[in-house]
Amino acid sequence: MVAFPRDGRTLASASGTVMDWDVARGAEQHTLPGHEGSVSAVVFAPDGRTLVSASNDGTVKLWDLATGVVRRTLTGHKVYRVNGVAFAPDGRTLACASNDSTVKVWDLATGAVRRTLTGHRGPVYAVAFGPDGRTLASGGYDGTVKLWDVATGAIRGTLAGHWGPVTAVVFAPDGRTLASGGFRGTVKLWDAATGTIWRNLAGHWWGGEVTAVVFAPDGRTLASGGKDGNVKLWDAETGAERRNLHGEREASVLAYGLVIANGVTAVAFAPDSRTVASGAVDGSIRLHDVASGRRAVLFQGLHRILGLSFIPGPVVGSGHRLAAADDGGPTNRPNVLLSRFVEPPTGEDTSLDRNGPTQS
C-alpha cells in the first residue's frame, strides 16, 4: 500500500525500514528502522504529518515525518501479522486488520484499544472507514465483507458473494458504495446501505487475486490492481471498464492461478484524480495518466511493493508526494519511500532509480 500526504507532494514506501525519498533528486532522505519483520502496509494520517506502518512482526508504528521518530508503537495483535490499516477521517482513530482474526480500533491520543471486533473466521486482510467515520468495513479469508458500527462494535451487516478471500475494501467518497476485491479476479460494488451487490466487475484474470481497489477522490473512477499484472479503471457509476493501465506488466507469468512475476500489488490515486500510481512484485512503481493512459516508471530497485499511498489533500506548489512500502526481500528489512513528482506522465516512459532519472 502507498500513501500521499495532504499537500500532495511526497511519496512513502516500505520494505522493512522506512525511508523518505525526494523523487526529483532520486536521493534517500530518511531511513526509519524499527520493525523486526517485513512491512505489510503504510498510510498517512489525514493531516499528512504522521505515517503509520504495519508489519509481520505484529506491531503498528506511528512515525513523526518531521523528525523520523516513532511517536507510538501499537502491540495489541501480539505476534500476529497486521495486514491492513486505515485512519478514521478525523485522524484520531486507527483500525488494524490482522491474522489473529480480529480488527482492533485504537484511540491514537492514548494508544489504547477502543474495541476489538470479532466475527471473521480466519485472517482479516483489509479495513476501510466510511467517510462519516461511523462505519468500518473489513474483508477476510472467510470470503465476507463485514460492516461494523464503530461506536458500539456491533456488526451492521455481513456481505457474502466472493468466491474466496476478500483482500481489499474501500468506500466511495460519498459513502453510498463499497467496493471489494478478492481471489478469482473479482471486484464487486455493493450498496453500503442495503448490503446488496449492484455490480460485478469482470476483467481481471479469473485465477488471480485482486490486490487493491481504490476510488478517485472525485468519486467518478474506481481503480483495481491484480496479480494478473493489470491496473483497470472503471466508471464508478455504470461499472464499465474505461481503461486498462497494464503498462509493461502484460508479460506477467501466470501458472495455476499464481503470478510468478510483475503482478500489481498496490494502487493509489493522486489527490487531483488525474494520476494513478501502481506498485508491483518486481519492486517498481509506475505513474499512469488517467486521461491518456501514458505511464512513467517513478522508481525501480525496491523489493515486492506492498503499499502505496498519496499524501491526502489538495495539491500545493509543484507536484504530489507518494509513499510506498516493500517487503524487505531476502534481508527482511522493509523500506518506506517518500517520493516527489511534478506532473502526470505525458510522453515517453521515464525511469527513476537510486542514481536518478533515466529514459526507459
State how far the Cα of 55 lies from the Cα of 82, in Å rounded to an integer.
Answer: 6
**What is the arithmetic mean of pLDDT over 166-178?**
96
Positive or negative, the CA dihedral 188, 194, 196, 197 is negative
Predicted confidence (pLDDT) at residue 13 exceeds the cutoff of 80: no
Q: Are 142 and 124 in contact (CB under 8 A)?
A: no
Q: Indicate if the pLDDT at residue 351 is higher than 90.
A: no
SS3 186: coil
Q: What pTM did the predictor assign?
A: 0.84
Q: Is 349 exposed, middle or buried (0-12, 13-18, 19+ CB in 10 A)?
A: middle
Give the closest residue to 234 by CA, choosing from 181, 191, 175, 297.
181
pLDDT above 60 (res 103): yes
Task: Give the integer Cα–Cα distance in Å for 11 and 89.
Answer: 20
Q: Rounded to whole angstroms, how far apart are CA atoms 53 and 41?
A: 6
Stronger pLDDT, 233 or 342, i.e. the higher one = 233
Total number of domains in the chain: 1
Instruction: Give yes or no for residue 359 having a pLDDT over 80.
Output: no
Residue with cell 508491483: 280
Q: Distances in Å between the alpha carbon of 242 and those of 27, 205, 228?
A: 36, 17, 18
pLDDT digit string (tens) for 269-309?
Answer: 988 898 899 998 888 888 899 988 888 887 777 788 877 87
CATH code for the domain of 307 = 2.130.10.10
User: 32 falls in which pLDDT band (50, 70, 90)?
Assistant: low
CA dist 72 and 6 (Å) reads 21
Parent domain of 184: 2-359
Reading the block at residue 114, the C-alpha cell is 477502543
Query: Does residue 313 surpass a pLDDT of 60?
Result: no
In three-state secondary structure terms, 88 is: coil
Cα dihedral 23/27/28/29 (nearest 10): -80
How much is the average pLDDT of 211-219? 95
**249 phi, psi to nearest 5 deg:** -90, 5
244-276 pLDDT per residue, tens: 986 444 444 444 445 445 789 899 998 889 889
What confidence score (pLDDT) does residue 160 get?
92
Which of 144, 138, 214 has its CA nearest to residue 172? 214
Amino acid identity at 114:
R
CA atoms of 148 and 348, how far apart (whole Å): 46
SS3 category, 185: helix
